[in-house]
Chains A and B, each alone.
Chain A
Amino acid sequence: MKMKGTTPVNSTPNDPRPSVLIHDPTLRDGHHAVGHRLDAGQLRAYATAANAARVPVVEVGHGNGLGASSLQIGRALLDDATMLTTVREALTSSKMGVFMAPGWGTSEDLTAAVDLGADVVRIAAHCTEADVTERHLGTARALGAEAQGVLLMSHMASPERLAEQCALMAKYGAQAVGIMDSAGHYLPGDVIERVQAIASAVDVPVIFHGHNNLGLAVANSLAAVEAGASVIDATARGFGAGAGNTQLEALVAVLDRRGFDTGIGLREVLSAADAAADHLMKAPPSIDSIAVAGGLAGVFSGFKCPVLEAARAEGVDAIDLFLALGERQIVAGQEDLIGDVARQLKAGSR
């Protein structure tokens, strides 16, 4: 088992077990499940609970990150600055993370976020577009933040391509790099192949971010760790886009059984997850039919709410619409096409 790069903040010096750093985007990815409408009380309640559980990084923001609040993707209830200030105040030991995709956010947004206390900055690009991260990874490093690079919709590219793209981001200054299974499409074997390819191409920790459309998010995350990933994203109750993310409390338990150290106590993380259940969601995410279809078709999990809306408005079947979007390989940010494709389906002119 090859462990790479930096030691997670919470690793216990006398715990001989290999460590995994848990990165928790409950308050960012979870926004996709509630139309980006979390209020300050909700952010504070969960950030406080996650901090108490010693979750190393608590990520916050609009579902698509800094600068993404818009009619196209969904308007957040709170602006970026209010979200960051609220969460910052609640964190005493956990680091605060933010996410930004060039084209949605800008260097100005990044600078403002770091000023407000963001410690970890994730710069994202679609799977084959890593060179758009060059400027912003540089900005993040210059601001003194911990800079990471992630590839979205990674199932659309081959393991070799992903490895080459991750190596680019490492060259631009990313201190950890990796992949997001934005559509919840992977099986464990897919993850192992990709993480191994990336781990052998870079000298920085490898990140994996799963989604649960096919019921495999925890299994895929474990596979990622065993293949050499050391930063894993997970959210309380799996709160996140579509069928949800890798479930934090289950992952902590699984990693513990498997002999990995996350620095997170089980009782504390269970309390944090209960706090999330009480404060953030009406019901935890579930693998409904749409989620399975989306996962299979490889469509961005965050499209669930807009797809249901467009399907209802045009009177077409939501699963048909998901599959049609999959055929077009539509990526996050292209929400404007959902209505058009729904109307084309309705007109029977696919």
Chain B
Amino acid sequence: MAAEERRRVAVLGAGLIGIDLAGKITRSSKLELALVAGRRRDSLGLRRAAEMGLPTTAGGVRAVVEAGAFDVVFDATNADSHAEHWAALRPTGTTLIDLTPTGLGTVTVPGLEGHRSAAHRHLNLVSCGGQASIPVLHAIAQRCTPTYIEVVSTGASASAGPATRLNLDQYIATTSAAIRTFTGAREVKVMVNISPARPAPPFRVAMTVLADNFRPAPVRTSIAAAAEAVRAYVPGFKVASLAVDPGRIQVAVEVTPSGRHLPHHAGSVDIINAAAVLLAEQSAAASR
């Protein structure tokens, strides 16, 4: 594909998420990464981006606005900064894909809202736990009426940057709300563990769904199909355990990044960034 057909994009926030995202974008044939914006010139992330040969700035959102029109900007900073980022970028006409757990933009999970969301210019990707659980929970909710859903994510210490750690309350609120939206369940409980274990454990999301009167076989089939659909853009996504009992479905998924770009414990980074790139590519396709 010729370079001029690529969508011009920028990454705001050069932390754990931002740097892997930058790498994924450079490997996309549909996107061209024109700027990585941080806020500290000496930050490890900006130095890494510069080493990757990418244009960088420490000027934050202002530098992104000044750098001119982007088709897509990804916000990989901190939930507390996101509203300000949207306010600054909105007038520029760009599509803003939010990877922080604010839930301010249209809540989006590829395959579920991806097509309709092409019409929106402010998308929110919920959270890593949301990206891993919602496809499966949505599939289950097509086969029964959940009365209660519980989702517990466990990530390795090394996969959670400082902003992730500051954003745990928003993570819980936004993930719960999104699960309610996509499943219709009234009661949803979300919890998250950051594990200090060494070697670091894989990213794991355990889900429990309580529901009456469902047939086990279609539930199992739907879960398998949902996992297959996620694997199309996150090859390391798998169902690690599944128990379908009367009144209760328990399923745990794990994400192990494939390829050599991320350590095996960084599945949380892999899944949200894969979703972000896919959505940007889809929005590129839709706007053409």
Contact = CB atoms under 8 A, between A and B. Distances in A.
Contacts of B189: 70-71
A334 B154 contact: yes
A55 interface: no
A339 B208 CA distance: 13
Contacts of B162: 131
B196 A127 contact: yes
Contacts of A71: 150, 189, 208
B196 A103 contact: no
Interface string A297-311: 000000000000000
A68 B189 CA distance: 10
Interface residues on A, range: 20 to 34
A92 interface: no
Contact of B191 (A70, A107, A153): A70
B44 interface: no
A168 to B, nearest CB: 11
Contact of A331 (B166, B191, B193): B193
B150 A103 contact: no
Given A71-B208, A336-B152, A336-B252, A107 B241 contact: no
A126 B197 CA distance: 10
Interface in B124-160: 150, 152, 154, 157
Contacts of B150: 70-72
Contacts of B195: 126, 329, 331, 334
Given A103-B191, A129-B196, A336 B206 contact: yes
Contacts of A67: 191
Contacts of A330: 197
Given A129-B194, A334-B193, A108 B169 contact: yes
Contact of B165 (A104, A108, A131): A131
Nearest to B154: A334
Interface in B236-266: 240-241, 243, 250, 252
Nearest to B173: A106
A72 B169 CA distance: 19
A91 to B, nearest CB: 28
Contact of B168 (A102, A127, A331, A340): A102
B104 interface: no
Nearest to B252: A336
B288 interface: no
Contacts of A157: 196
Contacts of A329: 195-198
A146 interface: no
Given A71-B150, A135-B166, A157-B196, A104 B208 contact: no
B201 interface: yes
B199 to A, nearest CB: 9
B193 A333 contact: yes
B152 A135 contact: no
A134 B165 contact: yes
Contacts of A107: 169
Contacts of B168: 102-103, 106, 132, 135
A70 B208 CA distance: 10
Interface in A46-79: 67-68, 70-72
A333 B191 contact: yes
A282 interface: no
A211 B166 CA distance: 30
Nearest to B205: A336
Interface in A96-127: 102-104, 106-108, 126-127
A129 B157 CA distance: 7
Contacts of A103: 168, 172, 191-194
Interface in A225-279: none
Contacts of A156: 196-197
A350 interface: no
Contacts of A153: 196
Given A106-B173, A135-B169, A340-B252, A128 B196 contact: yes
Contact of A134 (B166, B173, B192, B201): B166
A72 B208 contact: yes
Given A106-B173, A132-B165, A72 B197 contact: no
A298 B206 CA distance: 23
A70 B153 CA distance: 14
B202 to A, nearest CB: 11
A231 to B, nearest CB: 23
28 contacts: A70-B152, A71-B189, A72-B152, A72-B206, A106-B168, A106-B172, A126-B193, A126-B194, A126-B196, A129-B196, A132-B165, A132-B194, A134-B166, A135-B168, A135-B169, A329-B195, A329-B196, A329-B197, A329-B198, A330-B197, A331-B195, A333-B191, A333-B193, A336-B154, A336-B252, A339-B243, A340-B240, A340-B241
Given A72-B150, A131-B165, A336-B206, 20 more contacts: A68-B191, A72-B152, A102-B168, A103-B191, A103-B193, A103-B194, A104-B191, A106-B169, A127-B196, A128-B196, A129-B157, A132-B168, A132-B194, A328-B197, A329-B197, A331-B193, A331-B197, A333-B154, A333-B191, A334-B193
Interface of A: 67-68, 70-72, 102-104, 106-108, 126-129, 131-132, 134-135, 153, 156-157, 328-331, 333-334, 336-337, 339-340, 343
User: A-B pairs with the 9 shortest C-beta distances?
Assistant: A336-B206, A329-B197, A333-B193, A103-B192, A128-B196, A106-B169, A132-B165, A102-B168, A126-B196
